[in-house]
Amino acid sequence: MKALIVAYSKNKVIGKNGMIPWKIKGEQKRFKELTTDNVVIMGRRSYEEIGRPLPNRLTIVISRTMHINEENCVVAHSLDEALKIAENKNVYISGGARLYEEAINIVDKMYITQIDQCIEGDTFFPEFDESQWEIQIDAEFVGDLSYKYLTYTRKGDKTNRQKENLYKKER
């Protein structure tokens, strides 16, 4: 499975000045639950914001200039190279904006935290055609910063997709 994981506001803001412009209690726990024992692919700036490899998962950083010598963390020069490194493992693409834009057409699922406010920022999640996705609301939270956990699953012939996955496993 190839998935994308992101939090964005009503106006699709994902960042401001290289940082996430909000704090959501429990958001890191959800990210950890989804990505542990899998592969996380992120851009250089996203990695620099975290500042270290993520424990209990392979972290692949996409960068043309960065060099990393850490356990369970490697650098790839492109999304294609990162996906080859990940082989047939579950992959979670976790930002930034350019990586989301490149990945949105190849992922099977999107795990989205949708914040119910317009927030000021300078980095945005790319526009996409929601009609190509089945949308499931996993949870809703009401408070000072109300938000929903959504899972988007790409529409399509599930039988053909299962055959494709079986074919990939046999190779």
8 Å CB contact between 62 and 43: yes
pTM, full prediction: 0.88
- pLDDT digits 0-9 by tens, 28-84: 889 999 999 999 999 999 999 888 889 999 999 999 999 888 899 999 999 999 999
As a whole number, mean pLDDT of residues 12-37 equals 91
- pLDDT digits 0-9 by tens, 133-162: 999 999 999 998 999 999 999 998 454 444
Residues whose CB is less than 8 angstroms from the CB of residue 103 and which lie 6 or more positions away in sequence, other chains included: 2, 4, 79, 93
How high is the pLDDT of residue 22? 92
As a whole number, mean pLDDT of residues 117-127 equals 96
How high is the pLDDT of residue 9? 97
Identify which has the larger pLDDT, 67 or 116: 116
How high is the pLDDT of residue 124? 97
All domains in the chain, ordered by first residue: 2-170 (3.40.430.10)
8 Å CB contact between 2 and 106: yes
**pLDDT for 98 beyond 70:** yes
